A and B are shown apart, each in its own frame.
Chain A
Amino acid sequence: MWSKSKTEPYILTSPAILVLIVVVGFPLVYGIYLSFTNMNVYSFRDPKLIGLDNYIKIFADPIFYSTLLRTVIWTVVNVFCHVLGGLCLAMLLNRKFPFKNFYRVMLMVPWAVPQYIAVITWKNMFRGTYGTISILQSQLGVNIEWLINPAYTFIACMITNIWLGIPFMMMVILGGLQSIPGELYEAADIDGASGFQAFRHITLPLLKSTVIPATIIGGIWTFNMVNVIFIFTDNSGQEQTQILVSRVYKDAFNFFAYGRAAAWSVIIFLILAVFSVGFIKMMMKEKEAFE
């Protein structure tokens, strides 16, 4: 028989567990079930189980591999720039200088503006002939058709997403920087450490516990970021602008091929789960070695 001390944690966490079952458990199980069905326009009301057909077709299609590679590039470049940009700006904001609060507010703007509005604004800036970027580049004698050439459209999407994602990383890293005791830098200063050495041996190691979870979450967000590409390409991008999740969206909500879209989703989930588990294990090993 369980004592009160054993049952209490389960009672206290049961509301959260219930919410998790409803918002995570049900979509997970239902999504996995759909991925084994032929649910599309012709079998919308009575989908049949078709085993692994959806998966076999996806893995047999070369587009899966090119889209996966593009998604990895998209995620790595975005998250790298988010962390680098966020780190640089956070270090600037961690110093004393005039109008610091004003700059801090201005740097938060990309996060405060509704994403939809921000992306539409960027898209219009990239627009040919009349867009701000097009006007500036034409004055420099450069002619890039951002919204016509799919390779450039993809780069334009990346630039926009980098701009959108830096403030989050900046705030997280700034919080981490402010939690580093000033005495450590004073001691380093007394020991004659240079600014770079202090950064390398104090700032970076102590930021790890802040930056790593933020990078994982940022990676998952970016991997699944459908909005920017969806808006830039009017929901019907060419092959060279698609990432995995935009393909899921298109199959599900443009073509109502829910079985196939669910199979794509399960594949995305497995990729992210492997990435997350691998990343956490690696970090845990490092932490254990450090301890």
Chain B
Amino acid sequence: MKRKNWLSVLAISSLAVTMALGAVGCNGGGAAGASSQGAGASTKKGDVIELVFSEQDDPQSADPTWAEIIAAFEAENPGIKVKSEHKETEGQRTDWNNSVLAGKGPDIISSPPDNIPLFAEAQTAMELTGVIDESTFAMLDSKAIENYKYKGKVYGIPYKVGNCLVLVYNKDLIAEPPTTLDELVQKAKELTNAPNQYGLVYDMVEPYFASPFFLGSGGQIFDDNGGLLVNSDAAKKAFQLIYDWKFTDKITPAEGNSDVANALFLEGKAAMIINGPWFFNQAKDANINYGIAALPNAMPFADAKILMVNPNIKDEARLAAINKFLAFINNTENQLKLAKVSTEIPTNLEAKNDPYVTEDEELKGVAAAVASGVPQPARPEMRQVWDTWRTVQARVLSGEVAPADAPAIWEAECKKQIEATMSQQ
């Protein structure tokens, strides 16, 4: 009886262990899926090299363009195959870190720039100076490369700029976009007839969509030494603004993530939406007569899309293939293709002067927003900043925390989170 008893205990304990520890111990778990073999492989003379390329672009609009570029590259380079892997932003980040740590992972990743400090500190990104051909860097805007250096080193190649927020408005509802916040509220009030129509919609879950008003009020996240500056009047103003939009002015829905905001705008039930260039194609497909304008009294984060390389690659032939592929992506023709599909600005110097870039009205709007914006702070602690910002914003929008109290809570929670998860002892 006793032995049986202990066997049952052992069996159930094993189950508990597997479930509790599997996720962490196995170095992957939930979001971290199967990793690619790319970087771990070595090549012999005459082998066909298969590069694995990880991207997180909107599959509907970007996939055909990537497929076209990859097919053209393979036709020019018969000894190299490129396998493209699409992942969502969060899963891509986790998978990359875990698989690179395990000595494997994709060869190249295209991802947002906030991954640079994270991957650089985790040593899961290759330092590119001296590895990537100078001729590739020479094709690109040196200022863009300079913007994305981390601790003075180049870990990523920015290949298009335009990841920023603008005001997208429905021209059938608003003839002229507002130029001040007061005007925005006034117009939005006139056009709100809840729940059938709202004057303004935005992703109320992700603070990224309200961040331009924090920056526009003079808000800063870090000082030069990495000290937090979020407990500020600018933060109070920004929290007060979104609080008023919901509770005082009643120009937004009670709640909603990007799915809700996008759906309302695409169904013609919202006059204005805070969104980025990645949304334009959806508005076109929905036959919305839309226009874009700068967000009033705001300063958006304006960022590039970055190409990074797996540091596990030691094989010379593979490195040469990567060099060829990066040079191909960044040539004038391909950068233009990629920029057009997402309404962003190429970093290739020739492509930047193409008539499409200099004359397209939409791209001019994006360029103006980029010019008025700032890059995200290059610190790995931004993960904790966003996470605690999201939590505090939710508490403000639930009415639980007063906007005036929110910045102090944000700073305290962020400090605690950073100390708990990033201690450098």
**A residues with CB within 8 A of B:** 20, 23-24, 26-32, 34, 38, 40-45, 50, 53, 57, 61, 127-130, 145, 147-150, 216-217, 220-221, 224, 226, 230, 234-239, 245, 248-258, 260-262, 265-266, 268-269, 272-273, 276-277, 280-281, 284, 288
Contact = CB atoms under 8 A, between A and B. Distances in A.
B371 interface: no
A248 B31 CA distance: 13
Given A220-B12, A272-B20, A38 B425 contact: yes
A22 to B, nearest CB: 10
> What band does the interface of chain B fall in when counting residues whose beta carbon is under 8 Å from A?
35 or more
A148 B254 contact: yes
A238 B393 CA distance: 10
Contact of A236 (B5, B18, B30, B387): B387
Contacts of A145: 254-255, 398
A41 B380 contact: yes
A252 B25 contact: no
A255 B384 contact: yes
A-B complex: 6 closest residue pairs judged by Cβ atoms: A27-B25, A31-B25, A31-B21, A257-B421, A44-B122, A272-B16
Given A145-B255, A261-B24, A216 B380 contact: no
Contacts of B422: 40-42, 255, 257
A16 to B, nearest CB: 11
A266 B421 contact: no
Nearest to A53: B425
B186 interface: no
Contacts of A53: 425
A27 B424 contact: no
Interface string B262-294: 000000000000000000000000000000000
B391 A260 contact: no
Interface of B: 1, 5, 8-9, 12-26, 29-32, 90, 94, 97, 101, 118, 121-124, 194-195, 205, 253-257, 260, 380, 383-384, 387, 390-391, 394-395, 397-398, 400, 417, 420-425
A248 B24 contact: yes
A131 to B, nearest CB: 10
A32 to B, nearest CB: 8
B9 A277 contact: yes
B397 A148 contact: yes
A18 B8 CA distance: 19
A266 B21 contact: yes
Q: Indicate the member of B19, B124, B253, B397 with the most A CB atoms within 10 Å.
A: B19
A130 B285 CA distance: 23
A129 B253 contact: yes
Contacts of B16: 220, 269, 272-273, 276
Contacts of B32: 253
A234 B397 CA distance: 16
A177 B188 CA distance: 61
Contacts of A248: 23-24
* Interface residues of A, dominant DSSP: helix
B34 to A, nearest CB: 16
Contacts of B18: 23-24, 27
Contacts of B420: 57, 61, 251, 257, 260
A224 B20 contact: yes
A245 B17 CA distance: 13
Nearest to B389: A236
B14 A20 contact: yes
Contacts of A217: 12, 15
B9 A28 contact: no
B12 A253 contact: no
Contacts of B194: 129
Given A20-B14, A41-B122, A236-B391, A253 B94 contact: yes
Q: Indicate the member of A38, A44, A234, A284 with the most B CB atoms within 10 Å.
A: A44
Nearest to A277: B9
A235 B93 CA distance: 14
B19 A224 contact: yes
A276 B13 contact: yes
A284 B398 contact: no
Contacts of B256: 127-128
Given A220-B16, A226-B30, A26 B25 contact: yes
A24 B14 contact: yes
A261 B227 CA distance: 25
A265 B122 contact: no
A90 to B, nearest CB: 23
B239 to A, nearest CB: 15
A147 B398 CA distance: 9
A234 B203 CA distance: 12
Contact of A281 (B5, B13, B380): B5
Given A20-B14, A276-B12, 19 more contacts: A27-B18, A30-B26, A31-B25, A34-B25, A41-B380, A44-B124, A128-B254, A129-B195, A216-B12, A220-B15, A220-B19, A224-B19, A224-B20, A251-B420, A254-B383, A260-B420, A265-B24, A272-B16, A280-B12
A28 B17 contact: yes
Contacts of B424: 42-43
Contacts of B124: 44
B421 A269 contact: no
Contact of A27 (B13, B17, B90, B395): B17
A28 B31 contact: no
A34 B256 CA distance: 38
B24 A148 contact: no
B24 A258 contact: yes
